Structure 1
Amino acid sequence: MEKFVQLHINDNIVIALKKFETGDIINVNGEEIPLKESIDFGHKIAIKPISKKNKILKYGLSIGSATQNIVPGEHVHSHNLETDYLINQ
């Protein structure tokens, strides 16, 4: 079993299926990506560079925009992601 899942071929993130520690390495489509920080189960990991204001893709669709530059192996979460979903409008 893989330790992460890529939900769509166009996604620029994967979902952790276990808790990862800083320095762990994941192999995505033949590319080794060292993790920049610890990442909890169910959280997103960048697998491609994502420039500030570019879309973060999950399920092949945008779930939000990067609020800063994100490098492969970095945790993608509310600290660097502005959601596309509107809540309590």
Structure 2
Amino acid sequence: MTYLSGQDEGYTVNQLLRLHPEDNVLIALRALPAGTEAEGVRLQSAISLAHKVAAVPIAKGAPVLKYGMVIGRATADIEAGAHVHVHNMASQYTPTHYRKEEVA
């Protein structure tokens, strides 16, 4: 794991976490405001605690990597510093079920 730091009121605060060297997302270690900069990434929007941020640009259809494993695919182009969540990623981490599949 790699802790990525930024400056906050004159001291270093761990703000983002890369769980595996191959990950293309970072994890917010606290709620972060838009514009926060850490490890060369500038947040495009406010990010909630434990949410994902693109560490690099992720092309539509490309894998989203967390824990060094594919957890989903980008459903749209994702810029570095953007929030990565259900609005721009389809999960492959857990099965997705739809109501129509349950109704026979």
TM-score by length of 1: 0.90
Q: How does 1:58-77 map to 2 (within 5 A)?
A: 58-77=66-85
1:22 equivalent in alignment to 2:34? yes
Please identify runs of 4+ aligned residues in structure 1 that moved more than 4 A. Answer: none
In 2: Cα distance, 1:11 partner to 1:75 partner:
15
Q: Which residue of the partner structure matches residue 56 of structure 2?
A: 48
Q: CA deviation at 1:4?
A: 1.4
* Count, aligned residues: 85
State the SS of the aligned residue for 1:5. strand
- TM-score, length of structure 2 as denominator length: 0.77
The one-letter code matched in structure 1 to 2:73 is S
- Higher-RCO chain (CA-CA 8 Å, sequence separation at least 6): 1
Match of 2:95 in 1: 86
CA RMSD, Structure 1 to Structure 2 (Å): 1.3
Displacement of 1:16 in angstroms is 0.2
SS of match in other structure, 2:45? coil
Q: Secondary structure at the match of 1:40?
A: coil
CA distance in 2 between counterparts of 1:4 and 1:49 reads: 17
Shift of 1:87: 3.6
Task: Work out the CA distance in 1 between the residues paired with 2:85 and 2:38.
Answer: 18
Higher-Rg member (1/2): 2
